[in-house]
Amino acid sequence: MSPFIKAGEKVEIEGAGRIRIGDVVLLKMKNGFLLHRVLFVFKNFVITKGDRSPFIDPPSEKKNVIGKIKKDEGFLKIFRTIFSLLSLPFSFTKFVLSRK
C-alpha cells in the first residue's frame, strides 16, 4: 500500500460500516490478513487491489472485511483510486479470462 501506508507503519482500524470505492480495508484471508484498497463494491463481495500492485485481488466476501483504516486521505483518495483503476486493463482481463 506504499506510499499511502509505509512498511511497518501502524494503522488504526475502525468498523467496516458502509464500504465505499477507495476505502482501504482489512480483509481476513485464508492465510492471514490483507490491507488493500476497494475498487468495486457489489452486494455480497468486494474487489480490492494494492496501490502498487498491477493485479487485482480475487473477490472477497463482505463478511471477511474486518474494518477500514482510519486515516484521512482527503482528495488523494480519489487520485489513488483513479490511479489503481487505470492499471486495471491487464489485471481485469486476466481475472475475467481466469473465471471461464
The CATH code of the domain that includes 25 is: 2.30.30
On whether residue 19 sits in a domain, the answer given is: yes
On whether residue 7 sits in a domain, the answer given is: no
On whether residue 8 sits in a domain, the answer given is: no
Q: Which pTM value belongs to this model?
A: 0.72
On whether residue 26 sits in a domain, the answer given is: yes
- pLDDT tens string 22-48: 889 999 999 999 999 999 999 999 999
Strand order in the sheet with 13-15: 13-15, 65-69, 24-29, 32-41, 45-49, 60-61
- pLDDT tens string 44-99: 999 999 888 888 999 999 999 999 988 766 556 666 666 666 666 555 545 544 55
On whether residue 56 sits in a domain, the answer given is: yes
Domain that holds residue 27: 13-98
State how far the Cα of 86 lies from the Cα of 98, in Å rounded to an integer: 20
Residue 100 pLDDT level (bands cut at 50, 70, 90): very low
Q: How many domains does the chain have?
A: 1
